[in-house]
Amino acid sequence: MITLEKVKEFLNIDFSDQDALLQTYIDRVKYRASTVTGISQTIIETDPITLVESTVPNPDFDTPELDGAMLEDIAHMYANRGESVTGSDTAFATYRRLSKRPMF
């Protein structure tokens, strides 16, 4: 799972000045990856005893390959901040390859 701490470690950032910007990138990249792959970020589970529903992270969205692509996407956005950049082409290719829906 991509977290602010994991992103900061990946980018070798040890200060908090950019936390809000990085969180924006994290949210944007998770949405992009979910949209392109067709894999929901969360799923609803029902407790079989109490029948209470709860939203939990989707294990299919939390894979090393997808996390790596999202980290690369965030790194690309951070390196090119201030420019009109949509993200990494390599990460987008990974999203498409992992897609659960047909791509034309």
CA angle (72, 77, 80) in 5-degree steps: 125
| pTM value > 0.95 | no
| Residue 3: both structure tokens together | 């977290």
53, amino acid identity: E
Report the alpha-carbon distance of residue 65 to residue 57 in Å, rounded.
Answer: 16
pLDDT for res 83: 79
Contact 40, 66 (CB under 8 A): no
> pLDDT tens for residues 25-83?
999 999 999 999 999 999 999 999 999 999 999 999 999 999 999 999 999 999 998 77
